Every structure is written in C-alpha cells, then in structure tokens.
C-alpha cells in the first residue's frame, strides 16, 4: 500500500489462541455444468445458447455456465407468464395461492443448508450470514406473504383490488436469494405472475429456487427466471407486454429504468443506493454502539444498500470511539467465506473490488487518513480488508458516493443540529442509525432525518412485516409489510 499516511493496525488483543478451521462442506451441492433458462416450468434446452460463467469470488474458480438470455428468450418468458396468468393464476383463490407460497417457504427451510452454502460459494458472503440471515429471512418472506394472499381485501378496505398481471423483476448480487424472495413473494401473493432476472455474478440460488418451484408444483409459467447481464435486464424493461416493473440495484440503472417506464406509464418500484448516516451521541452505550457500527458497515462486506457507511460521531468522544473501533476491527476475521468463523468474506466481483480500491485511493491522495488492520488476505480471489477513513471532508467523493464495500467514512459533529444537517446532506435517503440513551433525542432526530428506515440503538434489523424503502435517490415504493403489497395491486375506490 505504501502510502505515507497509512497506519498499520496491530494485533493488540492477542489472546494466544487461534480458531481451528471450521469449513462448511460443499458435498451436498449438485451444481450442474450448464444451466438453461427457467421458462414455463422447465429448464430450456441449451444446445443453441450463449453462455457466461459464474465464479466463486473467493477463489476465482468457475462454478457453472449460465445461459445469457436474448430478447427473444425474454419474450418467451413474458409469454409464458402471461399465459400462466390467464390460464391459472388470476382465477385461483387467494387461499390456493397461499398454499403454494407456504410450500415454497417450507422447502426453503428444508433445503436451507444447501441454499446457504450455494449462496456463499457464488456470492462470497460468510456462511454464518447466509445461514443465519439470508435463508431464514427468505423463508420468512414467503411465510408472511402466504398469510396475506387470502386477506388482501382486509388490507385495502373500501377498495376494489386487482393484480397488475405480468411483473418484470430485476435484482442485484448482494442478497441474491433474499432479494428474489422480497420480490417474488408479494407479487405472487397479490396474484401476479413473474419474469425474474437475477444478477450476472450470482444466478445460482435463483436457479436452485427454480427446482423448488418445480417440486412444489407451482403452475408452469407463474415464475420464470431469465439469466443474463444488463442487456437481458434491459430487454425485460423494454418488453411491451410487461405490466409492472420492480428493480433493486444502482441509482444509475434505476434512473434508466425509470425513464423507460415513465414513457409507457408503467407502474414501477425502485430500491436503489444509499449512504446511511450512523450517528453516535456522547451518551450512547459505547460497547453496543461499536458492535452496531461494525455490523452496520461490515455485514456482507459492506455490499448492503442500507449499510451504515457514514459514521457521524460526537466530537467529545470521537478520539476514544475511533480508537476502540479500530481495536475491534483488528479482531475481525477476513477469509474463506465457507469457514463458520469468518466475519468478512470475499468481494463479490473483480469490478466491484476495483471500484472500492479506486474510491479509497482517491481520498487518500486528497489527504484523508486510512486505517486497515494488518490481516493477511488470501492470494487468489477478490479481497478487501475492513477499512476506516478519517479526516474526510464533505467534498470528498467517499463522503457522498456509495462505496458498497467494507469501508467506513468517519466525520464528527458537535451538536444535534449539526449531526442532523450532516446526516441529511446526501442525495440518498434509504436508512439511518442513531445511538443515544436519550429517548427524546431519538425522536427529535428521527422526525427530521430523511430516510426510509431509521434504527435506534440497533442496526440492520429486518423483518417481513416492516416496510423497507427509500427517499430521494434511494428510490420509491416499499417492500415488506402492508405497504409492500400496494405496488403489486391496482386499487380502485369501490362504488357504493
């Protein structure tokens, strides 16, 4: 790294013991060499397909060849979804639709170890996260929405409700199965059929979900999965026979999609980037706040749209807090994502690693101080150590742009008013965190912060009953809870 202002971390808390490796076995996986598109209840023949490879980002070894769906393939998927909508799904009662969702949820639970291992292998996230967060939450979303399927009229009293029809859904690579569940479960519960496009670097758990869809006997065409890159996503967005779009990903692509949807007056929900302020007041319970900050930025290598990536710490405790934070970071274990002791896994792709590196190097040149622990990183694969940047100015790119990596940007404040002003000084508005023992201060801040989700004395708590979504450039529309059903329905006032 060789920067003059680079401070090496120390192994200060050496207890003289080390963890024995505890690597999760991959023997229960049955990854195919090649995957066809999942359309109309079946994997299509691959004899004339174009393929791309999906890699294990911790080793750079290819895992499988994945079909790159063309515009004609997307058209086939949309036709299958339309046919399934008209033939089966729109005529089924909510109670029957619910049964399918319950079945998917139970199958996810039964095969959760297999899904978790595959998610970690394809995406690079630590197994303890895919096992304890992604999988339980994915199943919970299907259970929760199964419960709504036959009660929608109670969610929207005095309203006539109708599904949109065929929904196009595009998801990112940071929570592949979980984002698929966030999107599929409410769409199906509300009576829509779906064409889903997973991210290029993480298609495998969506394709395993296709097997579950077959096992639960979901009518063919209700869920179709088209793999591919941005062009496949674009073909889905532009398709004239899609009735609603839902997208999670970068603000840049979200804006492109919005432009296209507006022209056709197409209903759209966008869940985009974030630059969440994580505000620590001087009276906060510091041990808990340190853990909250660590979880807020290093969970899933910081590949999290609602990550607490901007630490705002009150000046009176800043030095002490940052010192303790750095000591805690020294203890984080970076390495094999399949090891159950790993805290920080691999960066999802080479291009994401390059993006993180570029943003951090630029701010070091501009005079910020960087702290990284002296951990050794594996030779192959894509890795970035947990990093803390201090001396950051609001004008620096890292203070404004989403880094989407394990990099925490630190700024200080003196008064609640200053904390609020700095917290809201961002084009994004997805999430925020507040740590203080004073309830009135929590309320004062929460009422004035412009963020869709605000956590107080905790961070990264998710539940399917709780709506999630943003303000400003973080998008619009909510996912989860009753609010998350609304985008999947047309509602009209009932005539008396």
Q: Which span sits near ligand NDP by CB under 6 A: 134-142, 244-252, 407-415, 433-441? A: 244-252
CB of 228 to ligand NDP, least distance (A): 6
Residues 167-206 that bind ligand NDP (CB under 6 A): 170-174, 197, 199-200
Indicate which single residue of 230, 291, 441, 471 sits in contact with ligand NDP (rule: CB under 6 A). Answer: 230
Q: Which is nearer to ligand NDP, 317 or 407 (CB)?
A: 407
Q: Which residue is nearest to ligand NDP (CB)?
A: 233
- Options 140-148, 249-257, 321-329, 410-418: segment touching ligand NDP (CB under 6 A): 249-257
Q: How far is it, in rounded angstroms, from Cα 368 to Cα 409? A: 10
Size of the site for ligand NDP (CB under 6 A): 26
Q: Does residue 248 interact with ligand NDP by CB under 6 A?
A: yes
Minimum CB separation from ligand NDP for residue 69, in Å? 11
Query: Reduced to 3 states, what is the DSSP secondary structure of residue 453?
Result: strand
Helices (H), 151-306: 152-155, 176-189, 204-215, 230-238, 251-263, 286-298
Q: How far is the CB of 320 from ligand NDP (least distance, A)?
A: 31
Q: Which lies closer to ligand NDP via its Cβ, residue 392 or residue 403?
A: 403
Active site residue 305: yes
**Known catalytic membership, residue 271:** yes
Which residue in 41, 165, 219, 249 binds ligand NDP (CB under 6 A)? 249
Q: Which of 327, 340, 350, 355 binds ligand NDP (CB under 6 A)?
A: 355
CA distance 423 to 384: 26
C-alpha distances in Å from residue 235, one per residue of 70, 159, 232: 8, 34, 5
Q: Can you give the C-alpha Rg of the chain in angstroms?
A: 23
Site for ligand NDP in 373-412 (CB under 6 A): 402, 404
Identified catalytic residue from 190, 305, 306, 375: 305
Mention every residue, 6+ apart, whose C-beta is less than 8 A from residue 221.
Answer: 39, 40, 41, 80, 81, 83, 84, 85, 87, 88, 193
- Within 267-296, the residues that bind ligand NDP by CB under 6 A are 272-273
CB neighbour list of residue 475: distance below 8 Å, 6 or more residues apart = 251, 254, 269, 270, 271, 272, 430, 469
Rule CB under 6 A: choose which of 55, 98, 253, 360 binds ligand NDP. Answer: 253
Please calculate the CA angle 372-373-379 and round it to the nearest 5 degrees: 95
Q: Whole-angstrom Cα distance, residue 42 to residue 320?
A: 58
- Are the C-beta atoms of residues 462 and 305 closer than 8 Å to each other? no
State how far the Cα of 336 lies from the Cα of 381, in Å rounded to an integer: 10
Residue 308 in contact with ligand NDP, rule: CB under 6 A: no
Residues 6+ apart with CB under 8 A from 346: 57, 58, 124, 301, 337, 381, 382, 383
Residues that bind ligand NDP (CB under 6 A): 170-174, 197, 199-200, 229-230, 233-234, 237, 248-250, 253, 256-257, 272-273, 305, 352, 355, 402, 404
- Would you please indicate which residues are annotated as catalytic (active-site) residues? 271, 305
């Amino acid at each position: 790294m060789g920067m003059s202002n680079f401070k090496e971390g120390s192994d200060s808390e050496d207890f003289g013991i080390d963890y024995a490796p505890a690597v999760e076995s991959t023997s229960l996986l049955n990854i195919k060499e090649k995957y066809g598109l999942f359309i109309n209840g079946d994997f299509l023949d691959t004899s004339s397909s174009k393929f791309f490879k999906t890699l294990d980002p911790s080793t750079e070894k290819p895992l499988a060849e994945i079909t790159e769906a063309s515009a004609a393939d997307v058209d086939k998927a949309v036709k299958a979804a339309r046919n399934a909508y008209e033939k089966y799904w729109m005529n089924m009662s909510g109670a029957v639709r619910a049964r399918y969702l319950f079945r998917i949820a139970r199958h996810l639970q039964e095969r959760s170890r297999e899904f978790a291992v595959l998610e970690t292998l394809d995406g690079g996230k630590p197994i303890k996260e895919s096992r304890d967060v992604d999988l339980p939450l994915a199943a919970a979303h299907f259970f929760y929405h199964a419960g709504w399927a036959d009660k929608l009229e109670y969610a929207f009293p005095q309203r006539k409700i109708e599904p949109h029809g065929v929904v196009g859904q595009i998801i990112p690579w940071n929570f592949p199965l979980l984002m698929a569940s966030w999107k599929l479960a409410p769409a199906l519960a509300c009576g829509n059929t779906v064409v889903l496009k997973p991210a290029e670097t993480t298609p495998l758990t969506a394709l395993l979900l296709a097997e579950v869809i077959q096992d639960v006997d979901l009518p063919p065409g209700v869920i179709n999965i088209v793999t591919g890159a941005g062009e496949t996503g674009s073909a889905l967005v532009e398709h004239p026979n899609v009735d609603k779009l839902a997208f999670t990903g970068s603000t840049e692509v979200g804006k492109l999609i919005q432009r296209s949807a507006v022209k056709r007056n197409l209903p759209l929900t966008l869940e985009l980037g974030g630059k969440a302020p994580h505000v620590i007041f001087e009276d906060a319970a510091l041990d808990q706040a340190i853990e909250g900050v660590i979880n807020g930025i290093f969970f899933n290598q910081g590949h999290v749209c609602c990550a607490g990536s901007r630490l705002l710490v009150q000046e009176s405790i800043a030095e002490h807090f940052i010192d303790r934070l750095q000591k805690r970071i020294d203890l984080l274990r970076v390495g094999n994502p399949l090891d159950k002791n790993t805290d920080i896994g691999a960066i999802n792709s080479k291009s994401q690693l390059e993006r993180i590196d570029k943003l951090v190097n630029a701010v070091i040149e501009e005079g910020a101080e960087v702290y990284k622990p002296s951990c050794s990183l594996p030779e192959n694969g894509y890795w970035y150590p947990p990093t803390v940047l201090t001396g950051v100015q609001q004008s620096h790119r890292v203070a404004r742009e989403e880094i989407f990596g394990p990099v925490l940007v630190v700024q200080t404040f003196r008064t609640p008013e200053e904390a609020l002003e700095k917290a809201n000084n961002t084009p994004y508005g997805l999430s925020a965190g507040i740590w203080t023992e004073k309830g009135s201060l929590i309320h004062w801040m929460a009422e004035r912060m412009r963020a869709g989700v605000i956590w107080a004395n905790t961070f990264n708590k998710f539940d399917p009953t709780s709506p999630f979504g943003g303000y400003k450039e973080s998008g619009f529309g909510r996912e989860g809870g009753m609010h998350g059903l609304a985008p999947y329905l047309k509602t009209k006032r009932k005539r008396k």
